[in-house]
Structure formats: structure tokens, C-alpha cells
Chain A
Amino acid sequence: MINPDAKLAANIFEKPDLVPTRDGFGKGAVEAGKADPRVVVLSADLKESTRAEWFQKEFPERYIEMGVAEQNMATVAAGMANYGKIPFITSYAAFSPGRNWEQIRTTIALNNVPVIVCGMHAGVSVGPDGATHQMLEDVALMRAMPNMIVISPCDAEEARKATIAAAKAGKPVYMRFGREKTPVMTTAETPFEVGKINTVWESSSRQGLDGRGLASTDVVVFATGPLLYNSLLAARELERENIQVVVANVHTIKPLDRETIVSLARAAGAVVTVEEHQIAGGLGGATTELLAKECPVPIEFIGVQDQFGQSGTPVELIEYFSMGVSHIVAAIKKVIDRKEV
């Protein structure tokens, strides 16, 4: 059942609103700009598709067009942040942090200045553009970097909140956004705190044991980004089979909410991670690094398995790369089998 404390939208299973997470960035940037005059937005010739244009319309004097130059965008922003501005740098994730990783490492992360790197069009769901533009390694690149906060919002509303929070963080931040319209699951009332994850779906038989002798929770699913929705659909489907799933929205991949992840994994005894990213170095990697030490339980991974993407529709690609609802259902059943051995 939906965790009532998550205050999710009432219509999410019937007719959810569909909005791309990049729109949440666009809204959030304007709100952050209103709240703090130090906020500036830089764009590398992609202001419409990154929604940086929304900020430009509101604050033309605080919008900086960099041209097609992502390395310069990162380093100019580092200088501006060093001065005292709060720069958001916007491009496609394939180019930023894809192309300008070293500049981000040295001049933003090691320099420890509050630049917010916004990687748009992340994941295979960019669709027809193909593998060059389908960034699947950005979380790995940014997570390995000291001083860097990594946020992967699940929907446009959370993206808005994350953008506002990032402007206040006072530290280097990476945020990842998608191009496609995806379901809006959260509401203004849904809790959001950087580094503190939330469960959105909980076992309906919290008390006692079920007929098969399993504890009340069979599996915990740690999902990040818009694939949280597929995870919810999978959990709902399995509830009908009396398989009790907890779904947690891991919007902050770094710093990882170690305490909550370990306690949920311990309670369930089996874990599935879900992300539109390479499993290596992504949420799957991060979760495993933690649980191998603190709570070694069986884990299955939904995500891209050491492959590049290709052209197609978002739906085709999510299915092709085994990130659909049926794949999550199968992974949950598989990890339960492993647990029972």
C-alpha cells in the first residue's frame, strides 16, 4: 500500500500527471532565483530544452549564455562561485558532466565551491537521439568525487524541491534530470530532505508473519529517478500475490542515507535496486558497497548492464534494457528465491 506519510498524489495509478523532471528544474531555478539574488544560471546553447530559458525570462541579467563550451561553463561557474555566486550549469548529462569531468573535479569539487551541475536528458529515455546522448554513467562519475552531493529526483515536483535545496546546500551538487514526460508521484506535501530517503510503498501486512513464514516485508526496492513509478507498479502487482514489498525513493545517492537503507534491508532480508543508469557505479553499486559491509543480503539489480543505448522510443528502450515493470517483478521474485535458499 502507498505509505500515507509520503503524501503521494491521489491519482498516480489511474491517470497521473505526466511532466518531465527538467520542468521541475526550470520551476525550481526560478523559485531559487527569487529567494536568493546570488543564484545565476549558465547554459551551453541548450536553454530551451534544459529549461534554463525559464530562468532567463525572469532574470535576464543573471542568465549567462556560454555557447557550446561545457568545459568553460564549468570553470567559469567555478570562478563565479568562488566570488560568491550560486551558479547552476545546465547542459545534457552526456556533455556535462560527461565532457567536463576533470574541470568539475578540480575547480568545483576539490576547490569546494557551490556550483550545481545539472545533467539533463539522462538515461536511455532520451530515445531517438541514440547512444551518444543517452548518458548512463553520470552518477558513477559524480558519486566517486569527494565533496559532491548527487541527487536524482523521481519526478518534476521532487526536481523542483531538489533544485531549491541545491541552491541552499553551499556545496558542489550534481542533479540528474530526464527529457521525457514521466508520472508526477509526489506532491508539495511529500517530505524532501537531501540525504534522507523516504518509503513510498509499504507492506500492507506490517504486523506478524504471512502464510509462507516470511517476515512481514519480503523485499525492499531501492529506486531512483522516474523508474520509481515502475517500481510502484511492480509492488502493487505483487501485493495481489501476497508478496510484501517496500519501495524506497532514493533521491539522494550521495550522501547515501546509510541508516535507513541498512534498516530497511535488514527488515526485508532481500534487496532490488532500480535505476536508469549503469549498474556499475550507480545506485546498485552504492547500495551494494554499503550492504556488503553492514547487512549482506541477496541483491538483484535493475539497470543497464554494461551496454550503450541505441535509438528507439523511451518505452521500447526501457523494455529492451530490462527496466520495465515485468522485469522489476521478476527481479523481486528472484531475490526472494535466493533469500529462501
Chain B
Amino acid sequence: MIFWARACVTIEEMEPLTDAEVHELSLKANAIRQTVIEMLLAAGSGHTAGPLGMADIFTALYFRVLKHDPKHPDWAERDRLFLSNGHITPVRYATMAHAGYFPVEECLMLRKFGSRLQGHPERERLPGVETTSGPLGSGLSQASGYAYAARMDGSTNSPQAADFRVYCAMSDGEHQEGNLWEAAMFAGAKHLSNLTAIIDRNNIQIDGNTEDVMPLEPLADKYRAFGWHVLEVDGHNIPQFIAACEEAKAIFEKPTVIIAHTIPGKGVREIERDFRWHGKPPSKDEAVQFLSELRTLGGKITSEHQ
């Protein structure tokens, strides 16, 4: 299954998602959240809030935005998705499994000895993850280097000449790293319009709320000052996020950053917006409760979009 075929239709005809398609994607995101909870329970360690908060965006990426082929993860023309904040990799693994890269059951091998699903993703272990990440603040540089190299091989007159796009998903907390701003400066200076960055703006990090730990605002203005095209979306509104990804493709002179405002722990009401859930997994009882809530909420999510 090559997802690009659908994406092509989207670009050329700019058709908005139908209600049925939105419904389908929402159900998919909900299923991915359930897989994330099951993975974390089986692993006994890992991060909960970020993966749940980014489930809608990863669903949109893998089931609508990215040009990719799960059966051929090294396809030369695939879009490249760099995950900078490697600690939310459970949501990427779960989404990749649901998209057909590997069986969903393998997700339960997260963090296990000998598993391809390392606690933080490794390029040489699992095809399709594009790079090794975990230490924060270096994904945007790698994505920028990749985009720059791709453009070198394309027409120098056309930054869009390369036949794929480079995406980079980042956390908000990692914007406290100096390396990240070096990358933002580089990508802006080099007008890397074949690069779309996505920030999970969930306002939490391990020690508390980002604005208490070390304020990031005005984040959008900072990116604008560095030469970026800035879009802000509701990170749980899948059509809005997809539209932002489409708009980024149309921006010729600048890299685009999509600041996606998300709710950490989204989908499990008890833990939403609670920074204490950044870096811990659910206990068995909690997992049962969270899964039950997600399954029940399946109906609610459906009704919101109908």
C-alpha cells in the first residue's frame, strides 16, 4: 500500500477530508493510543503523556500526509520523518505498526532485550525510523542537513526539486537546547523550504510546565525572527494539521514550522495536562482504566466530528 496516491489527490484537488475520512482517522488515532498504553504497560517504563498527545498528528502523518510505503521503508522517494524527541517513540512505533510496517503485536516488545523497538529509536535497528534520537535538540540539525543535501542534488534554482519532503517532529521542551537554535538559524539562512518542522507544544517537561522551568514564549516570534514560515494549529484537529502540512509545501522561500498545540496525555482525562505523566508508564490498574476510557471515548470522538 503506497499512501502517496491518496496524498497526490489531496494536493491536486485540495479536497477537504470528508466527515467519514475524519471519523476514520480519529478511530485510528484512538486505536494507536490504546496500543501505546499496552506497550507502556508491557515495557514497565517509558513516557506516557507525549505519545498520547501526539497520536492525532502521527495518525495524520502516516495515514494522510507522508508519501511512504510500509513494505519498502527504504524507498528512495519516501518523505523522511525525523523524530527529534526520541522519547515519544512509542507513538511512532504504534503508528508504524498500524500503518503496516510490522505486526501490531510486535509493539509489546518495546524496550525488551533484543527488540527492534529500542527505548529510544535507532536507525540501524528498525527500518523506517530514519535516525537515532533521544538526546534532545539535534533532530532539527539532522533534518536540515538531510534537506540541504537533497537540495544540493536537485536543481539549484528550485528548492523543491528534490522529490521528497523532510519532516522533523520535535518537543517544545527541547527548544531549551542551544543546538536546536543553531539548526533553526541554519535552516532559515539556507531557505530550506523542503523542510517542515512540527513542534509538540504541550507545555510540559519533566520538571514542570515549560513556562515555569524555562519560558519558551514567544515561540512563534522566535522562529519568524530566524527566517521561518510559522503556522499554529490545534494538534488534535486532524484536518487543520493536514491543511498546515499542505500549506508548508506551497511556501517557496522559507522552511515551515507548525506549532501544534496539544494536550499532553490526550484521551485519558485523569492525566491530561499533568506534567508528572511526562516520563512514567501506567501501572496495571491504571492501564486497565486508561484503556477502558479510550475505548469508551471512541464513541465520543466519533460524535464530535459528526
Contact = CB atoms under 8 A, between A and B. Distances in A.
A79 interface: yes
A214 interface: no
Interface in A253-293: none
A110 B148 contact: no
Given A61-B152, A71-B178, A72-B179, A107 B131 contact: yes
Nearest 8 A-B pairs (CB), nearest first? A79-B145, A75-B141, A72-B182, A76-B145, A79-B142, A83-B149, A79-B146, A69-B182
A80 B146 contact: yes
A71 B122 contact: no
Contacts of B138: 71, 75, 78, 103, 106-107
A69 B138 CA distance: 12
A110 B145 contact: no
14 contacts: A66-B186, A67-B185, A71-B138, A71-B141, A71-B179, A72-B141, A75-B141, A75-B183, A78-B141, A78-B142, A79-B149, A80-B148, A111-B123, A111-B131
The dominant DSSP class at the A interface is helix
A111 B183 contact: no
Interface string A83-96: 11101000000000
A79 B185 contact: no
B145 A80 contact: yes
A58 interface: no
A110 B133 CA distance: 10
A35 B229 CA distance: 39
B142 A82 contact: yes
A319 interface: no
B247 interface: no
Contacts of A107: 131-132, 138, 141-142
B124 interface: yes
Contacts of A80: 145-146, 148-149
Interface in A91-116: 102-103, 106-107, 110-112
Given A79-B144, A80-B149, A111 B132 contact: yes
Interface of B: 82, 122-124, 130-135, 138, 141-150, 152, 156, 178-179, 182-183, 185-186
Contact of B123 (A64, A69, A74, A112): A112
Given A66-B186, A76-B186, A102-B135, A85 B149 contact: yes
B179 A75 contact: yes
B179 A103 contact: yes
Contacts of A40: 149, 152
A250 interface: no
Contact of A69 (B131, B134, B146, B186): B186
B135 A83 contact: no
Contacts of B123: 82, 111-112
Nearest to B135: A106
Given A106-B133, A111-B123, A111-B131, A75 B142 contact: yes
Residue of A76, A79, A84, A102 with highest tally of chain B CB at under 10 A: A79
Given A74-B141, A75-B145, A82-B145, 5 more contacts: A69-B185, A71-B138, A79-B142, A79-B145, A103-B135
A219 interface: no
A62 interface: yes
Nearest to B123: A111
Nearest to B182: A72
Contacts of A111: 122-124, 131-132
Contacts of A61: 152, 156
